[in-house]
Amino acid sequence: MQIQAILFDLGNTLSKSASFVEALLQLENTPFSQSLGLDREALTTIGEEFGKNIRELYSKDDLTQPHWFDVWQAAAINSSINLTDVQITELSYAHLNAFLQQSQVEPYAIPLLSMIKENQIPLGLISNVTGPVELFAADFQNKGMADYFDVIIWSNVIGVRKPDKRIFQTALDGLNLQASKQIIMVGDNETADILGGNAMGFTTIKVIDDETQEDSAADYVVNKVGMIEFFKSNIIETI
């Protein structure tokens, strides 16, 4: 296969995302949470509500990326927790920092990206994110992945989320490429990454944690433990 570019998702593809609730509970009994009057129960409640709001974004026909503050404000209101706008902003930043610290790079990620770059294949990142983009960008750089990519697309910068065709097209424009089967989209989410990639005419690869997951519309389904060998055998050696 003649590969023109490989596009990656981030969360649960190149990195293992942390739990929204567990990240918030890192703030338990700190001067910060105490100043907001948030005990363990309150942190758990608002974390669960925030997580529910994020999951709902993947089931809506409207693929506009909401501002992160609006998502957090809705979580606070639905949790019956009274916080000022300033407090919501402070909580969202504290939570995202804890979430990113707990989210770990997958063991295969750096070796795989290195192998792809050594073979001079352009790389793009397309990630749905709800939070201050500067924190995501800094964390991506600090975790040693950013420099491998020729283009990095965050949904909260361009205003739409995967599987909206516009977010994929933005990546293609940055790479000066046209949509085709020679573009590979790699991700874990069936709707955002696989159906979105299929709609663009890409070759799609779904990343899974185990073999018991449901059937996929992806061209390939690959267990995380076999990612490097799969790419070496099925992508790199076929160039």
Residue 212 belongs to domain with CATH number: 3.40.50.1000
What's residue 226's pLDDT?
94
Packed helices 109-118 and 227-234: angle between N→C axes, nearest 10 degrees:
20
Are 122 and 217 within one domain?
Answer: yes
Which pTM was predicted?
A: 0.95
- Whether 2 has a pLDDT exceeding 90, the answer reads no
Q: What is the mean pLDDT of residues 46-50?
A: 97
115 vs 93: CA distance, rounded Å: 34
Of residues 61 and 170, more confidence is placed in: 170
Give the residue carrying structure tokens 């402070």. Answer: 90
State the pLDDT confidence band at 239, using cuts at 50, 70 and 90: low
Last residue of a domain, one of 102, 128, 156: 102
What's residue 1's pLDDT?
67
Q: What is the mean pLDDT of residues 8-15?
A: 98
Structure tokens at 179: 């949509």
Last residue of a domain, one of 102, 122, 152: 102
Q: What is the mean pLDDT of residues 31-37?
A: 96
Are 168 and 214 within one domain?
Answer: yes
What's residue 59's pLDDT?
86
Q: Name the residue range of residue 61's domain.
A: 20-102
Are 48 and 130 within one domain?
Answer: no
The mean pLDDT value of the chain amounts to 95
Are 226 and 128 within one domain?
Answer: yes
Are 87 and 140 within one domain?
Answer: no
Are 98 and 115 within one domain?
Answer: no
Are 10 and 40 within one domain?
Answer: no
Are 9 and 118 within one domain?
Answer: yes
Contact 124, 150 (CB under 8 A): yes
What's residue 77's pLDDT?
96
What does the pLDDT look like over 133-150, one tens digit per residue?
Answer: 999 999 999 999 999 999
Are 110 and 182 within one domain?
Answer: yes
How many domains are there within the chain?
Answer: 2
237 vs 200: CA distance, rounded Å: 25
State the pLDDT confidence band at 213, using cuts at 50, 70 and 90: low
Q: Is 87 helix (H, G, I), strand (E, B) or coil?
A: helix
Of residues 67 and 235, more confidence is placed in: 67
What's residue 212's pLDDT?
62
Q: What percent of the chain has pLDDT over 90?
A: 92
